[in-house]
Amino acid sequence: MANEPKKPLLEITGLTRRFGGLTAVNGLSLTVGEGELVSVIGPNGAGKTTLFNLISGLDAPDAGTVTFEERDVTGFTAERLASFGLARSFQHGRVFGNLSVLDNVLVGAHTRLRAVKPRIPVVGPLVELALALIRPPSVRAEEERLRAEAKEIIALFGERLTPRLDKPAHSLSYANRRRVEIARALALHPRLLLLDEPTAGMNPTETAEMLEIIRSLKARGLTILLIEHKLDLVMQLSDRVVVMDHGARIAEGLPAAVASDPAVIEAYLGHKAVGAANQDSANQDGGRDAEGDASRILVAH
């Protein structure tokens, strides 16, 4: 069996999404194998977030298919996909502001439970309501178990979140809200985790912490599809890198090979370098700086 190639967990073929005259994702094909960490990189506007929206059911493609665990899930809702174990974080962080850190993470666990419970139409919600009101010992024990598990997941982020378990998410720093969002995705026990720029807005120390967290998730066997602008992190973590530009895949391969691919360097030079765009939006100096940064970022690791 050892020689048998693993079936891809996620398989995308010919995925296309148009917004008016703009083709944000253009005939993209991509596979992610079980346990793999695949990074999607590319200049701003390349179509990376749109791709994640199509995979995670937030948006529907104009053409192409998304297959998850050999099931065609094209056009399925985000909730249904979550119930299959597809979890994501958002580029700009989405948490429930009025809920505590702990409750935000518990939302992820409840999504999972709803998925595994048999659905009893009409009576089902009433039974759930009755159980919630009466709270028999079995329900209380289950709640306790979920809370303990949520705290364990939160502890992955060291002391960043644990002292703030009961704080409303709106009171957290931007970086902490992003951590809560990832914790919530993990509470879903995902089969596939999509992370959209998990280190955006983070300083170098916070970025290094996030790198270690992603590394530990990968070491536990979690399959991860990662969008990330910080190429140093991409180079360290990825089994494979897919490069997008203008909605299409322009390169794919091992991190080092992709970094030296002329088409990739050209894509970064043609736009403003991603690193430069991120770190220094005030710099309007255009081409020359972009060139310096692109070369530096692409060879760095």
Ligand X SMILES: Nc1ncnc2c1ncn2[C@@H]1O[C@H](COP(=O)(O)OP(=O)(O)O)[C@@H](O)[C@H]1O
Region 83-122 residues binding ligand X, contact defined as CB under 6 A? none
Region 128-187 residues binding Mg ion, contact defined as CB under 5 A? none
Beta carbon nearer to ligand X, 11 or 59: 59
53 part of the interface to Mg ion, by CB under 5 A: no
62 part of the interface to ligand X, by CB under 6 A: no
> How many Cβ atoms are within 10 Å of 164's Cβ, its own excluded?
20
61 part of the interface to ligand X, by CB under 6 A: no
Could you tell me the smallest distance in angstroms from the CB atom of residue 203 to Mg ion? 20
> How many Cβ atoms are within 10 Å of 198's Cβ, its own excluded?
26
Beta carbon nearer to ligand X, 24 or 202: 24
Pattern 73-112, binding to Mg ion, x per CB under 5 A? ------------------x---------------------
CB 237 within 8 A of CB 215: yes
Using CB under 6 A, pick the residue from 30, 37, 39, 47 that binds ligand X. Answer: 47
Residue 137 is inside which H or E element, if any? helix 137-155
Could you tell me the smallest distance in angstroms from the CB atom of residue 37 to Mg ion? 18
33 part of the interface to ligand X, by CB under 6 A: no
Range in contact with ligand X (rule: CB under 6 A) among 37-45, 101-109, 154-162, 179-187: 37-45
45 part of the interface to ligand X, by CB under 6 A: yes
Using CB under 5 A, pick the residue from 49, 53, 89, 238 that binds Mg ion. Answer: 49
Question: CA of 221: how far to CAs of 34, 59, 136, 214, in Å?
Answer: 8, 28, 36, 11
The CB-nearest residue to Mg ion is 49
Range in contact with ligand X (rule: CB under 6 A) among 42-50, 114-122, 230-238, 260-268: 42-50
Q: What is the DSSP letter of 58?
A: S
39 part of the interface to Mg ion, by CB under 5 A: no
Could you tell me the smallest distance in angstroms from the CB atom of residue 90 to ligand X? 11
- Residues forming contacts to ligand X in the complex (CB under 6 A) are 19, 22, 24, 42, 44-50
- Footprint on this chain of Mg ion (rule: CB under 5 A): 48-49, 91
